[in-house]
Chain A
Amino acid sequence: MNFQTFGGYQEDLWPQAFADTDVELAPASATPNPAKVGSASVRIEGVVKQHGATRVLHGIDLQIAPGEFFVLLGPSGSGKTTTLRILAGLESVSAGHVYMDGADVTTKEPGLRDVAMVFQSYALYPHMTVEQNIGFPLKMVGTGKEVIGRSVDRAAAMVGIAHLLQRTPGQLSGGQQQRVALARAIVRQPRLFLLDEPLSNLDAKLRLETRVELKRLQRSLGVTTVYVTHDQEEAMTLADRIAVFMDGRIVQVGSPRQIFAKPLSIDVASFIGSPPMNLLVGEWEGHAVTVGGSTVAVAIESPQSRDVVIGVRPSDLRLADGGLRARVEGVEHLGDNVVVDLVVDERLVKLKTDRAPVLREGEAVFVAFAPEDAHLFDAESGARIA
C-alpha cells in the first residue's frame, strides 16, 4: 500500500498522552475532525481480563481523545474485541479501570454509559420493523413518539435507508442490515460509538464503499469512535490512531503512518502492509548487514557484530545490479502493480513495483533498497532497533 493515500497526518503533533478534556490535542489531520460537545474521552488503565486460568488481556493502557477515530487492530484472539466489550460494559474487568470523561465507569451498567455499539452480526431485532429497530434506544428512555419519528427519519436518511423503514430485517440485504445497525447506533447521539468488525460480513466491493461512508459519517458526527478490525487496510484508511493488539497486549499505538513507517516489533511489521514486510535474518556490523553471503548497507551503525532481523517493505525493494542475490519464483500481475516473488537466502521475499519487469522464472537477479528503508529488529526479542 502506498501510504501517500492516507498520509497528511503530522506525526509531531501527536503527543503520546492526551489530557482528558483537552480538545486541542485532538488529532491534527488533513481534514480536521472537531469533537462535538458530548463526545467522550476514554482512558483505560491497567485492564486485565481473566477467563478462568486464561488471561485474555494482560494490562491494557489506552487514551482516546474526544472525537477521535480509534482502531483496535490485531489478529483474532488478540483481545481487541474483549477490550471493546469492556468499554461497552458487556464484559467485566479482572483488574484495572475504565474512565469516560474522567469518570470511573468500570462497574457501570452498559445502559448507563451512553455508548452505542454496532455488532459484527448487527443484532437487529427480527420481530421489529426497521423503524422500530432504529427507534428502540429512544423508546427505552421514554422519548415521545413524535421526537422518535423525527430522529429515526434523520438517522435513516444519514445512512440512506429512509425507503426501508417499514420492512423487517429479514427482508433486507446484508448491506442494508448493516446500515440499520448503524442508524440504530447513531439515532441517539451517543458519547461513544463502538464498532465490532462492522464490515466483515459485507462483500469486497460493498466493504470499500461502506468504509468511505463510515469515515464521512464519523467526521460529520464528530463522535469518539472505537473500531475493532483484523483488517490492517481497513485500520489504515479509517483510523486517526491505531492500537495494535497481539496476544492480549497492546504492542504499539500510533497514527497509521507511524505504525507503517516505524513498526516497533517484528510482529507488528509483519502484520501491517500488503503484502507484509519482508523479513530476513542477518548479521549486522558497522553500516552493513550480511544476509546469506550478500551485504547490504543500512543507515545506522552497530559498534559490534550482532544478529538481527532486517525488514524491508515490498514497495521499498527494487531490482538492481548489485545487493542481495535473489532467484525469481514468479510474477503476480495485480493490475496497477506487480508483485514479484523472489527467494533470498531460502526465504520468500516479495517485491512490489508499478512497472512490470521482464523476468523469467528461476532467473538470478539482485535486489536492493535505500539504506534508510531498512528496518532492524533484535533477533532475539523481536523489538525494533532502528
Chain B
Amino acid sequence: MTTTGALPRPGRAIALYALAGAVLAVWAFPVVWGLLTSFKTERDVLAYPPVWIFTPTLANYRDVLFGPSSIVPNLFSSLVVASLATALTLVFGIPAAYAMARLRFPAKKTTGFYVLATQMLPPVGLIIPYYLALQKVGGLDTYAGLVVIDLTFSLPFAIWLLVSYFEDVPVEMEEAALLDRAGRVRALWHVILPQVKGGIAVTTIFVFLNAWNEFMFAVVLGGNRVRPVTVAMFNFISVEQTQWARLAAGAMLAMAPVILLGLFAQRHIVKGLTVGAVKGGGRR
C-alpha cells in the first residue's frame, strides 16, 4: 500500500493541497486584489496600510459602464475585433491546416517553416512596418485593419496547432469516405472535421483570447473609432492621476468574458495542450 520514499497517503494529500493552495494564492492574489479594489472608493484604495474591511461601493462599476468614460463601446470594439479575427482565422486556418497535413505540394516544408517562423518574430519589430502599411491603405483605426494585423499572428499559430490534429486522422478514413462517394469537400465536412473538433475548439479559444488580450497593436494601430478595452483601460492612467478603483472595475469587466470562456472550455484546453505536447513531438 505504502510505497517506499513516498509519504503515507493522508500526509501526501495534505502536502499536495498545501502546494496547490500556495500556487493558487500567488496566482490569484492580483485578481483578488483587483476585485477588492474595484469595490473600494479612491480614498480606500490609497489608504496605507491597506484596509481589508471597507464599505463596498458599486460607484466604480457605474462609472465605467454608464459614466462619461464608459468602456462599453470599448468592450464592443474588443468583441468585434476578437470575434472577426477568430472567425477568419478558422475560415482560412482549417483548410490550410488540412492541406498542409494531407496534400503533397512543392515547398510544403518551406511553407511549414515559414508558418512557424512568424511565431518567432517579436511583434514589436513589426509594428512600424504595419503602421506604415495600414496608413498607406487607409487601414488605421479601422476594424478591418486591426483584424488583418491580428490575423498575421493568429493564422500561422492556428495552422500550426491544427495541422497536428489533422495528421492524427488516418488517411484511410478519408479514402474510405472518397470510396463512399463523399467527394473531398464532404469527406472533410462529415468525416474529418468531426474528428478534429477538439482541436478546433482549442484553436478558437486561444485565438479569441489572444485577440481579446492584445494591446500593443491596438494601441498603435487603433484610434478613437476602434479602441479595444485593453487600450481603454490604459486611459484610466493619466499624467495627473491614476484612477485605480475605476481601472480595477474596468479590468474586472474586461476579464469576465475571458474567464467565462476559460471555465467553459477548460476541459478542451487541457486536452489540447496535452495532445500537442505528447503527439506533436513524435510525429512520423
Give the B-binding residues of A (Cβ under 8 A): 88-90, 109-112, 115-117, 119-121, 123, 125-127, 136-137, 140-141, 184
Contact = CB atoms under 8 A, between A and B. Distances in A.
Nearest to B181: A111
Chain B facing A: main interface SS? helix
Given A109-B183, A112-B181, A125-B194, 19 more contacts: A89-B178, A89-B179, A90-B175, A109-B178, A110-B175, A111-B181, A111-B182, A116-B179, A117-B179, A119-B172, A119-B175, A119-B176, A121-B170, A123-B176, A125-B190, A127-B194, A127-B195, A137-B181, A140-B182
Interface in B188-205: 190-191, 194-195
B181 A121 contact: no
B173 A123 contact: yes
Interface in B162-218: 170, 172-173, 175-183, 186, 190-191, 194-195
B176 A117 contact: yes
Nearest to A90: B175
- Residue among A89, A111, A126, A141 facing the most chain B CB atoms (10 A cut-off): A111
Q: What are the 6 A-B residue pairs with the smallest beta carbon separation, nearest first?
A: A137-B180, A123-B172, A123-B176, A111-B181, A127-B194, A110-B178
A88 B175 CA distance: 9
Given A125-B191, A127-B194, A127-B195, A140 B181 contact: yes
Nearest to A115: B179
Interface residues of B, number: 17
Given A119-B172, A126-B195, A127-B194, A90 B180 contact: no
A131 B172 CA distance: 20
A117 B181 CA distance: 12
A152 to B, nearest CB: 13
Nearest to B173: A123
Contacts of B176: 117, 119, 123, 125, 184
A53 B173 CA distance: 28
A121 B174 CA distance: 12
A77 B178 CA distance: 24
Contacts of B172: 119-121, 123
Contacts of A121: 170, 172
Contacts of B194: 125, 127
24 contacts: A89-B178, A89-B179, A90-B179, A109-B183, A111-B180, A111-B181, A111-B182, A115-B179, A117-B176, A120-B172, A121-B170, A121-B172, A123-B172, A125-B176, A125-B177, A126-B195, A136-B180, A136-B182, A137-B180, A137-B181, A140-B180, A140-B181, A140-B186, A141-B181
- Residue among B170, B176, B181, B191 facing the most chain A CB atoms (10 A cut-off): B176
Contacts of B177: 125, 136
A12 B69 CA distance: 98
B194 to A, nearest CB: 4
Contact of B178 (A111, A120, A127, A184): A111
A112 B178 CA distance: 9
A110 B180 CA distance: 8
Interface in B33-87: none
A68 to B, nearest CB: 20
- Residue among B177, B181, B182 facing the most chain A CB atoms (10 A cut-off): B181
Nearest to A181: B176
B13 to A, nearest CB: 34
